[in-house]
Amino acid sequence: EQLKGAVTFEHVSFRYPGMSTYVLKDISFHIRPGETVAILGSTGAGKSSILQLIPRLYDPTEGAVYVDGMNLKDVKMDDLRKRIGFTPQESILFSGTVEENLAWGKSDATLSEMKAAAQDAQIHETITDLKDGYETKLGQKGINLSGGQKQRLSVARALIRKPNILILDDSTSALDLQTESKVLDAIDKYKCTLFIVTQKLSTAKRADKIMLIDDGKIIEEGTHDQLMNTSTLYREIAYS
Ligand code: DCP
């Protein structure tokens, strides 16, 4: 039962454990395998909350999430972990070598797999320029990377697993337009379903579907061209 990457939300409402207010309110959508979804919305709208439900960091309070028609609750955690690449908003790197950080979660990754993923994430050259290349230590007793470098390293780490579903939660925000576009071109080759939180119009433009999120709801959805025609709000974002 190989996952292909279709993702369905069916009437999903969600509140964080112990909280009384719903941060997601009756969210439904269907994404086909291989589609790119750009998620836009102001801070606190619920973008990360939606995405966290896909790798089951949380379960919906009401409704259900399906991957390839299977309720996530019936999918083995191990299968999910192998098939879903998730880069959280704050890249999580630990004190260890670049190589160790890249292989985190996939300890059998070979150096050539790491290099290929790093090339796709546009971080390979930065790594080879470091004192000890892939063996350079990061963190407290090692070298500090810039925000954009950390983001690219996290993307590389996610790509190593060749995920069917890749979730980039604002993980390209520190990249310039050109670098982001190179990363996205490389991700296209993986043919995975891609969810990307972004503020960049250039990224929204290339998406098969854009979702505008506000106050825990999808308030608009469509392609860039469709939304330019139908959505005043989207046009405001596009021209801002
Ligand atoms: N929230 C919460 N507990 C958490 C995380 C979030 O109560 N552990 C709340 C804060 C917001 C709402 O949930 O009111 C939605 O938060 P999200 O992080 O999902 O919102 P965004 O991802 O859209 O915001 P940002 O762009 O700032 O990341």
- Distance between terminal CA atoms of the chain? 45
At residue 210, the pLDDT reads 98
CB of 92 shorter than 6 A to ligand 1: no
Q: Which of 25, 48, 200, 217 to mutate to test the pocket of ligand 1 (most atoms within 8 A of CB)?
A: 48
Distance CA 148, CA 150 (A): 5
Distance CA 39, CA 194 (A): 10
CB of 140 shorter than 6 A to ligand 1: no
At residue 93, the pLDDT reads 87
At residue 167, the pLDDT reads 98
Q: In this structure, which topology does domain 7-91+163-239 adopt according to CATH?
A: Rossmann fold (3.40.50)
Distance CA 14, CA 60 (A): 5
Could you tell me how many residues make up the chain? 240
At residue 1, the pLDDT reads 46
In this structure, the number of other CB atoms found within 10 A of the CB of residue 176 comes to: 11
Q: What is the mean pLDDT of each run of 10 residues along the chain (240 residues)?
A: 84 97 98 97 96 97 97 93 90 90 89 96 96 90 85 96 95 94 97 96 96 97 97 91
At residue 2, the pLDDT reads 58
Q: Whose CA is nearest to atom 6 of ligand 1?
A: 49
Q: Which amino acid is at 130?
A: L
CB of 89 shorter than 6 A to ligand 1: yes
CB of 16 shorter than 6 A to ligand 1: yes
CB of 24 shorter than 6 A to ligand 1: no
Q: Which of 47, 50, 168, 215 to mutate to test the pocket of ligand 1 (most atoms within 8 A of CB)?
A: 47
Where are the domains positioned within the chain?
Answer: 7-91+163-239
| ipTM for the whole complex | 0.96
If phi > 0 it is left, if psi is from -120 to 50 it is alpha, else beta; for residue 34 that is left
23 C-alpha vs ligand 1 centroid, how far in Å?
Answer: 7
Local structure of 211: helix, strand or coil: strand
